[in-house]
Amino acid sequence: MRIFNIWLFRFFALLLFTVLISCKKEPHKILAERTVMLYMAANNNLASNAYDNINQMEEGIRNIDGSLVVYAKIFGQSPRIYRISFDDSREIRSAVLKSYPDHDSSDPTIMKMVMEDMQNLAPAKSYGLVLWSHASNWLPGTAKQKTRSFGDDDGKTMDIKALRAALPQNLDFLVFDACSMASVEVLYELKDITPFVLASPTEIINTGMPYHQVLNGLFDPDILSGLMDVARSTYEYYNEKDGILRSATFSLIDMKKLEMLAETTRSLISEMNVERVRRDGIQRLDLDRTSPIAAFDFLDFGQRHLSSENAKKLEEAINKVVLFKIYTSHFLGFPLKRFSGLSCYIPDQHQYNYSRYYKSLKWTKRSGFNQLFWWE
């Protein structure tokens, strides 16, 4: 009887010890090395391109070390988040991690919520983000003018200030698969969001990046090398095409150097005869002639309005910001004779529609571009 009691005591003591230990143990959260989030605002005329790109992702995801999660608001479909997995069919077979009731993907509150959901659903040590939709540089989003800084949800859009407020603060990089976002105005507005941005100062062909060929770059542990590979792969994909489809440009931006560029620009503009500033002959980077606002090569603008010595200072500053650039010889059939990797707006007294908004941008004030509105 004594032996039984001793063993019974030992059994309950061990059970109590196990319970106490298990209560102290924190749940183990497995982190991927990197999660790449893709925000696809396709409740518009890009819906079929969105399906094609998701299929390309499913084709290219094999042997990727990390998680690719895609938020997609596609015309005719409820918004949802996919975890992309390998599939070589024409169907989208990736798992749906979350579905939402219908909402406006261009609402910054919605974007912020979705970004938080994607990070919670696919936690990682490193995060990258691809923004996929229509875009139009720094322009304010308005249904009346059919412009948008980023996104298009059945005509609803968001401007660059709203985008800045919606983006997470822990991104290791940001890629724009959207038109005209490598402008000094856009980049300076987002300079504190992420250390590196890959974007195009021109438009982007509606078929977008070739995702079956760029995923390895997005998941490369060496972020800069990987983003250069993304740019090269996209360039090579389009450079092999004919006619207007032989069109691709990309710039890799060191966001930490933008403050230096703004300071340099401010000192140089103060020496410029602003009343003699003209757009004539400067390389255009808005090459879709239906674009609502003009964009010009930033260095070409400087070289045509500064002394050779000051133009050299501007070039050196731009080269510190633009870590890598690549471009086809023509875009939409127009020659790219000059390409610094950055675009800028040149104010014109006959184009006053957006001047008030432009002057409210951080770049305009910090860089001295507000001096170019000499007639006001």
Which spans in 61-159 are helix H? Answer: 108-121
Using DSSP, state whether 37 is helix, strand or coil.
strand
d(CA 332, CA 313): 31
246: its two tokens: 């032989």
Quickly list DSSP for 218-277.
HT-SSHHHHHHHHHHHHHHHHHTS-GGG---EEEEEEGGGHHHHHHHHHHHHTTS-GGG-
pLDDT digits (tens, 9 = 90+) for 272-305: 999 999 999 999 999 998 887 899 999 999 999 9
> Cβ distance 347 to 359 under 8 Å?
no
pLDDT of 17 strictly over 90: no
pLDDT of 90 strictly over 80: yes
CATH number of 32-255: 3.40.50.11970
d(CA 197, CA 3): 72
Using DSSP, state whether 21 is helix, strand or coil.
helix
Estimate to the nearest angstrom the gap between the alpha carbon of 310 and the chain centroid: 31
Enumerate the β-bridge partners of residue 141: none
> Cβ distance 93 to 72 under 8 Å?
no
Confidence at residue 27, expressed as pLDDT on a 0 to 100 scale: 47
Q: Check residue 30 and report its DSSP letter.
A: P
d(CA 77, CA 47): 10
d(CA 215, CA 227): 10
Of all residues in the chain, what percent carry a pLDDT higher than 70?
90
Confidence at residue 29, expressed as pLDDT on a 0 to 100 scale: 62
Nearest to 252 by CA among 214, 209, 297, 195: 195
Residue corresponding to tokens 């540089």: 137
Confidence at residue 140, expressed as pLDDT on a 0 to 100 scale: 84
> Cβ distance 370 to 277 under 8 Å?
no
> Cβ distance 125 to 33 under 8 Å?
yes
d(CA 352, CA 330): 30
pLDDT digits (tens, 9 = 90+) for 29-75: 678 899 999 999 999 999 999 999 999 999 999 989 999 999 999 99
Confidence at residue 103, expressed as pLDDT on a 0 to 100 scale: 97
* Domain residue ranges in the chain: 32-255, 259-322+341-372
pTM metric for this prediction:
0.91
160: its two tokens: 């660059």
Residue corresponding to tokens 């133009």: 311
